[in-house]
């Protein structure tokens, strides 16, 4: 939230609730303007068993770095972003549903780590259905890698409601 300097001793916090097409309420920030709310759901690299998934500590570190860079890119582009990294065996009602219900999300991105491995098809379907159930007005987008998350969000947020 920004503050408006009215004089040497007067600072006024400036915010306003304003309706916006995809979200129920936005907070207007004098520095960033409207901030569409984006939730990114991915697999938690720290929860992958290297023996089961054939991943090394170096690969996990690289994925975590790319996730952080993707989050930073979304924030820098003016989105209010939150990341939810889940274990592949986590009950989604505990790990995901509370976050989906807590905000009026404009876009929910399901990461490629959930969507792409054939072994995780069941998880992917469950995630999509939990998103649909608890964030029915949110656009659902899919990234291919952590570093193309911004592109995935822009396909839906910038386009508004797409019906094709």
Query: What pTM was estimated for this model as a whole?
Result: 0.78
105 located within any domain: yes
Per the structure, the complete domain to which residue 138 belongs is given by 36-157
- Asked if residue 128 and residue 53 are part of one domain, the reply reads yes
Residues 46 and 2 reside in one and the same domain: no
Judge if 7 and 70 occupy the same domain: no
Over residues 18-56, the pLDDT tens digits come to 334 444 334 455 554 579 999 999 999 999 888 888 889
Q: What is the mean pLDDT of residues 65-76?
A: 96
Residue 60: CATH number of its domain: 3.40.50.280
Give the C-alpha distances (Å, rounded to integers) separating 51 from 47, 55, 131. 12, 8, 30
pLDDT above 70 as % of the chain:
76
Model pLDDT for residues 127-142, shown as the tens digit of each residue: 999 999 999 999 999 9
pLDDT in tens, 99-115: 999 999 999 999 999 99
Number of folded domains that form the chain: 2
Pair 65, 103 in one domain: yes
Shared-domain flag, residues 82 and 41: yes
pLDDT value, residue 48 = 86
Residues 13 and 69 occupy one common structural domain: no
Sheet holding 33-34, edge to edge: 17-18, 26-29, 33-34
């Amino acid at each position: 939230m920004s503050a408006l300097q009215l004089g040497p001793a007067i600072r006024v916090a400036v915010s306003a609730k304003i309706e916006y097409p995809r979200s129920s309420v936005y907070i207007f920030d004098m520095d960033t303007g409207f901030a569409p709310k984006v939730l990114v759901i991915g697999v938690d690299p720290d929860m992958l068993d290297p023996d089961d998934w054939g991943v090394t500590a170096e690969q996990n570190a690289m994925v975590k770095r790319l996730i952080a860079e993707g989050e930073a890119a979304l924030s820098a582009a003016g989105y209010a972003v939150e990341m939810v990294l889940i274990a592949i065996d986590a009950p989604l009602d505990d790990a995901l549903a509370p976050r989906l219900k807590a905000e009026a999300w404009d876009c929910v991105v399901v990461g490629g780590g959930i969507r792409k491995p054939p072994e995780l098809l069941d998880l992917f379907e469950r995630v999509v259905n939990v998103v649909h159930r608890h964030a029915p007005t949110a656009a659902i987008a899919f990234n291919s890698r952590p570093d193309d998350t911004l592109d995935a969000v822009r396909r839906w947020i910038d386009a508004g409601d797409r019906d094709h």
